[in-house]
Each structure stands twice: as C-alpha cells, then as structure tokens.
Structure 1
Amino acid sequence: MKNYGSVQDAISDLENRGYTESFEEDEHCLYCQDLRLRLAPEEFKVDEVYHFGTKAGEEAGCLLYAISSSEGLKGVLLAEPGREQG
C-alpha cells in the first residue's frame, strides 16, 4: 500500500487508478448518489484502506476505502468517525 501526505492526494491517485465513483454509508449498504445505486455487502469488496491521523485539536482522523463492486464499478468511501452519515 502507498503512503499519502493527504486525503486529497490519496483520492487523486485512486481516481487515476479507476476509483471514480463516490460512495456513502447508507443503512445496511453503500450508496452512490451519482448513479443512484445501492450495493449490499455481498456486492462489493474493500480493496484498500488508508487511515489519516488527527491534527492538533481534532478528535479523530478519517478512513478512506477503495471499493470495487462485483460488476466492476470502482469508487471511494470517506469515513470520518463521529460524523453523521447518510
């Protein structure tokens, strides 16, 4: 796995490698708003995970997931602990 200096660096590199869609967490699935598509857990896999630590004064960092669907769709999910999803 690569080491990135920032979340945006990681997203840019992943986009260049075909992870072009943006996913968000939805109840019991992932949701791609641009495609209006929901993926159940059995329909996708996590290819890579990157953790970005905290800066002074922040409670928690974030996780960036590179995800691919069983149909070949690729995208990213940015998860920030404590942030409401959906």
Structure 2
Amino acid sequence: MTKSKERLAQTEALPETKIDSSDLAEMDGAFFKAARLIMPAGTTKQAISLRVDDDVLEWFKAGGKGHLSRMNAVLRAYMLAHAQERT
C-alpha cells in the first residue's frame, strides 16, 4: 500500500503520545543480541582513511569479524535517519 504525500505528512505530524505502540515487541538487550546486519544489495564502497576514537574502534572490533561493515551500517542508519534534513 502506498501512502499519499498528504497522508504521510499527517502521520509524521502525530505527536508521540498519539501513536499506539502497544503491539510492538520490546527492543531490549535480547532483541539487539539477536539482531543481524543485512547490507543492502547493489551498494559499492570506497576505501577511505577515517580517524575514530580508540574505544569506539575497540568496541566494534570486539564484535568480531566484519567490524568495518558494522561501522558502515551505523553510518548508513544515521544518514537515512537524517536524510530529510538535507532536502
């Protein structure tokens, strides 16, 4: 089902207190332990040099193989969450 731009604007204008989330599962520690990274198909990557804080890098490395992909996924989630701010 495709929402019209008007309906989407109405939905986005709803205050948090008016949204019924009683049927949503709790996103607690157990949820995030079971979560898995799924990269979007068809994306390409560029090699760059990036400086990050030691503790940030160590935290991602502690998660095992794929720490750079996980860091990319976090950056992608931030980008998508803030994409409308740039339009």
If each structure's strand is expressed as a fraction of its own residues, which one has the higher value? 1
If each structure's helix is expressed as a fraction of its own residues, which one has the higher value? 2
TM-score range, shorter chain: under 0.3
Q: TM-score, normalised by structure 2?
A: 0.23
Larger relative contact order, structure 1 or 2 (CA cutoff 8 Å, min sep 6): 1
- The structure with more radius of gyration: 2
